[in-house]
Amino acid sequence: MPVNGSELRLLGRWTSDAGLAGAEISAVDKESKRLFVTNGAKNAIDIVDISNPKKVKLVKSVDFTALGSSGIQSVAAKNGIVVVASAGASKTAPGILFIMDVNGKMVKGLPAGLTVGALPDSVTISKDGKYAVSANEGEPKDYCLVNGALPETSDPKGSISIVDLEATPPTVKTVDFTSFAQRKNAIIYAGGRIFGPGASVEQDLEPEYAAISADSTTAYVTLQENNAIATVDLATATITNVLGLGYKNHNLYNTGLDLSDRDNAINIVPRNVQGMYLPDAIASVTAGGNNYMITANEGDAREYPCLLGGTSTTALEREDPRYADVGLDTNLTSSSIAGRARVTVFPPAVVTGTIVGSTTKVTSAYTFGGRSFTVWKTNTIDGVFNADIVYDSGDELERLVAARRPLLFNADWNTETGLVGSFESRSAAKGPEPEGVAVGTAYGRQWMVLALERDSGIMLYDVTNPVMPQFRQYLNTSLPGGNILQKNAGDVSPEGVLFLEAADSPTGKPMVIVSYELSGTVAMFELTAPAPTKAGK
């Protein structure tokens, strides 16, 4: 039982019946008590009545195909407005933000939505309801040069869009990283990564996920593949800075990891490798008058044609071979140590004239993701800086999973067979893979919920003091005996997390809503009140 008695308890579940990609990201509108779920399998938004979480029901499904969408990416809702982020005609074409009401009707004056940067991957709405912010990834389709250059039709610029929701109709400003075009070396020295072959800084920076400060003035946007965070002034629609996150030393006490999927054992120990944080989701928290960012350090490797010098526009080339295949440090090449580990062949430091190809060898091992969550200080000063780390969970996530699900430690689900994978099948590649994060206030405390994509579990932390987060609960509602293809495996592969404070919850009590990509389900949990204190205690 958690120390203060509060815990997450399953209330109900929405099942899309679409299976894989049937429920990825969700949003809730307080007044209508409706849930809006991205259904990637159907390129739609499912509108669900959750006024009674134990008896949820579909209101309608809104298909966006006819409106020019090639893929729904994200959704946000507030004050009766729903913002839907969608890829356009292709992932490299301009993206679209559709603005609709809670009934799925497009707002007057914007029947075809707002044009934004390529591949808007996440969207969020500020606490005051004034702004919506979209992180437009600008993901490449390949790195194949055309007349000696990498065209933006192959690798669009990453960008961030700021929507004024108070305008009639809403208006949008999109800003890219042109002002950082000459700052490549500064970003790399600050602990970021700029490494796409032939790509400019503006093309290489890829916004992934946005969080907005409590005062609704600033957005913090993860640049996942770049191991960095961008800060955005919303009033001026200006990217003020880029913060390089640096690298995690896994060779210290309490920062170890299990790197082998072949030793048939749970072996979380320090190794002489570095972790690239490469965060996916981010949350903004305030405590003691200070602002902090919390990142879920998923990790992500690039895999595209021409990435390693090839010329085929269809043959995929990946940056993450196993260390035994490319590593020069014989102390690490054993399969029981780090030989099985997925590492990058792109040096994270500036090396003038470095050419990376299919035969590239590396000495140092840089792995993907920190297998952790991290708390960082915010920074609104203009420029390029090293991010200031406040706290990192070290190897706690792997240790907690190992203690609570030892037979399924670092296992995930196979989308071809539909079955849960083998014991520690993900040890060599990102482990439990923290992906989603949300924070909120309840019972006089501040809470964080962290979603582990591969493990399918969620974790509850007390972050009232963000400098010293306290673990409270691990909860996994997947059913290992089931099959995701047969839609009987419970909740598998959490993608998006929402924390509904009591005032915003359909039940009047704090809730957590988690969308599970592989099972196509959305689970609703209540955060229970702490046990009453006995007299005299």
For the residues 121-125, what does the mean pLDDT come to?
Answer: 98
Q: How many CB atoms lie within 10 A of CB 414?
A: 16
pLDDT band at 420 (very low <50, low <70, confident <90, very high): very high
What share of the chain in percent tops pLDDT 90?
95
Q: Could you tell me the strand order of the sheet in which 228-233 lies?
A: 207-212, 218-223, 228-233, 238-244, 383-386
pLDDT above 50 (res 329) = yes
Tokens, residue 46: 């499912």
Whole-Å CA distances, 331 to 290, 328, 348, 451: 43, 9, 21, 34
pLDDT band at 354 (very low <50, low <70, confident <90, very high): low
Lowest mean pLDDT across 139-143, 352-356, 468-472, 525-529: 352-356
pLDDT band at 535 (very low <50, low <70, confident <90, very high): low
Q: What is the pLDDT of residue 534?
A: 62
pLDDT above 60 (res 3) = no
Quickly tell me which residue has 């809702």 as its tokens: 77
From the list 186, 226, 149, the residue with the least C-alpha distance to 350 is: 186
Angstrom distance (rounded) from CA 66 to CA 190: 44
Question: Who contacts 62 (Cβ-Cβ below 8 Å, separation ≥6)?
Answer: 44, 45, 47, 100, 104
pLDDT above 80 (res 349) = no
Residues 204 and 227: beta-carbon distance below 8 Å: no
The predicted-structure confidence for 393-409, as pLDDT tens digits, reads as follows 999 999 999 999 999 99
Domains, the chain, with CATH or none? 64-185+207-244 (2.130.10.10)
For the residues 238-252, what does the mean pLDDT come to?
Answer: 98
Whole-number average pLDDT of the chain: 96
The predicted-structure confidence for 43-91, as pLDDT tens digits, reads as follows 999 999 999 999 999 999 999 999 999 999 999 999 999 999 999 999 9
Phi/psi for 524 (5° steps) reads -115, 125
The predicted-structure confidence for 93-109, as pLDDT tens digits, reads as follows 999 999 999 999 999 99
pLDDT above 70 (res 482) = yes
Q: What is the pLDDT of residue 2?
A: 45
Q: What is the pLDDT of residue 29?
A: 98
Angstrom distance (rounded) from CA 119 to CA 138: 6
Q: Could you tell me the strand order of the sheet in which 34-39 lies?
A: 26-29, 34-39, 44-49, 57-63
Predicted structure pTM score: 0.97
The predicted-structure confidence for 197-234, as pLDDT tens digits, reads as follows 999 999 999 999 999 999 999 999 999 999 999 999 99
Residues 375 and 294: beta-carbon distance below 8 Å: yes
Angstrom distance (rounded) from CA 528 to CA 511: 9
For the residues 362-385, what does the mean pLDDT come to?
Answer: 97
Higher-pLDDT residue of 146, 530: 146
Angstrom distance (rounded) from CA 526 to CA 439: 14
Which conformational region is residue 447 in: left (phi greater than 0), alpha (psi within -120 to 50 degrees), or beta? beta
Whole-Å CA distances, 67 to 43, 77, 86, 98, 287: 11, 20, 10, 9, 43
Q: What is the pLDDT of residue 1?
A: 42
Phi/psi for 153 (5° steps) reads -75, -20
